[in-house]
Amino acid sequence: MRLVPALDLLNGNCVRLTHGDFSTAIIYDTDPVAVAQRFAAAGCSHLHVVDLDGA
């Protein structure tokens, strides 16, 4: 089994939505590149990036 972390982006921030509701967005980080680098440093070879601004 392969685990692929996901990174949801909204207005340039890493966020989590509840049931796809944009009004519930919680910002977890303001630097998506740094988050992606942390995933890579942890050994992740793939990353699923979702641009919620374009969804």
Give the three-class secondary structure for 3: coil
**Using an 8 Å Cβ cutoff, are 52 and 10 in contact?**
yes
Residue-level pLDDT at 39: 97
pLDDT of 45-55, one tens digit each? 999 999 999 96
Q: Is residue 25 part of a domain?
A: yes
Q: Flag whether 55 is in a domain.
A: no
Helix (H) or strand (E) holding 33: helix 32-41
Check: CB of residue 48 under 8 Å from CB of residue 35.
Answer: no
Q: What gap in Å lies between CA 14 and CA 51, rounded to an integer?
A: 10
Q: Is residue 34 part of a domain?
A: yes
Instruction: Supply the pTM of this predicted model.
Output: 0.85
Count of structural domains within the chain:
1
Structural domain boundaries, residue 40: 11-50
Task: Look up tokens 């942390």; give the residue.
Answer: 38
Q: How far apart are CA 50 and CA 29, in angstroms?
A: 15
pLDDT of residue 55: 66
